[in-house]
Amino acid sequence: MPRRRPLVIGHRGAPGYRPEHTRSSYDLALALGVDAVEPDVVFSRDGVLVVRHENEISTTTDVATRPEFADRRTTKTVDGTAHEGWFTEDFTWDELQTLRCRERLPALRPGSASFDDTQPPLRLADVLALVRAASLDQGREIGVVLEIKHATAFGALGFDVAGAIAAELRAADWADGALPLVIESFESTVLTQVRAHGIRGSYVYLLEASGRPYDLVAERGHRAPTYAEQAAPAGLDALAGAVDGISVDKRMILAPDRLGRATGPSRVVDDAHSRGLRVFTWTCRPENAFLTPQFRSGRDKAAFGDYAAEWQIIADAGVDGVFADHPDLALAFFR
Which range marks the domain in which residue 260 is found?
A: 7-334
Q: Closest Cα partner for 180 from 130, 141, 206, 146?
A: 141
> At 166, which amino acid appears?
A
Q: What is the pLDDT of residue 4?
A: 62
Per-residue pLDDT at 2 exceeds 50: no
Packed helices 327-334 and 23-32: angle between N→C axes, nearest 10 degrees: 20
Question: pLDDT tens across 120-165, in order?
Answer: 999 999 999 999 999 999 999 999 999 999 999 999 999 999 999 9
Cα–Cα distances (Å) from 233 to 52, 184, 269, in that order, read: 33, 21, 11
Per-residue pLDDT at 237 exceeds 90: yes
Question: pLDDT tens across 167-215, in order?
Answer: 999 999 999 999 999 999 999 999 999 999 999 999 999 999 999 999 9
Given its phi and psi angles, is residue 287 left (phi above 0), alpha (psi -120 to 50 degrees) or beta?
beta
Per-residue pLDDT at 219 exceeds 50: yes
Q: Count up the domains in the chain and report the number.
A: 1
**Distance between CA atoms of residues 334 and 20, nearest Å:** 22
Q: Closest Cα partner for 188 from 234, 143, 230?
A: 230
Answer for the pair 284, 324: CB distance below 8 angstroms, yes or no: yes
Q: What is the pLDDT of residue 3?
A: 40
Cα–Cα distances (Å) from 328 to 33, 43, 149, 256, 322, in that order, read: 8, 31, 27, 26, 13
Q: Closest Cα partner for 98 from 52, 61, 49?
A: 61
Per-residue pLDDT at 278 exceeds 90: yes
Q: Closest Cα partner for 247 from 145, 107, 330, 149?
A: 145
Question: What is the Cα gyration radius of the chain?
Answer: 19
Mean pLDDT of 83-104: 98
Q: Closest Cα partner for 100 from 54, 46, 63, 130?
A: 63
pTM, to two decimals: 0.97
**Distance between CA atoms of residues 104 and 100, nearest Å:** 12
Backbone angles phi, psi at 322, to 5 degrees: -130, 140
Q: Closest Cα partner for 162 from 179, 146, 139?
A: 146
Task: Report the percent of the chain where pLDDT is more than 70.
Answer: 99
Question: pLDDT tens across 286-332, in order?
Answer: 999 999 999 999 999 999 999 999 999 999 999 999 999 999 999 99
Q: What is the pLDDT of residue 289?
A: 98
Three-state DSSP state, 103: coil
Mean pLDDT of 39-49: 98
Q: What is the pLDDT of residue 34?
A: 98
Residue 1 lies in a domain: no
Q: What is the pLDDT of residue 324?
A: 98
Average per-residue pLDDT for the chain:
97
Question: pLDDT tens across 58-73, in order?
Answer: 999 999 999 999 999 9
Q: What is the pLDDT of residue 88?
A: 98
Residue 45 lies in a domain: yes
Per-residue pLDDT at 1 exceeds 90: no
Residue 2 lies in a domain: no
Give the contacts of 90 (CB within 8 A, at least 6 positions apart): 45, 72, 74
254 C-beta neighbours (distance < 10 Å), count: 24
Three-state DSSP state, 228: helix
Task: Report the percent of the chain where pLDDT is more than 90.
Answer: 98
Residue 64 lies in a domain: yes
Q: Which residues pair with 81 in a beta bridge?
A: 78
State the CATH number of the domain containing residue 178. 3.20.20.190
**Distance between CA atoms of residues 303 and 289, nearest Å:** 8
Q: Which residues pair with 85 in a beta bridge?
A: 74
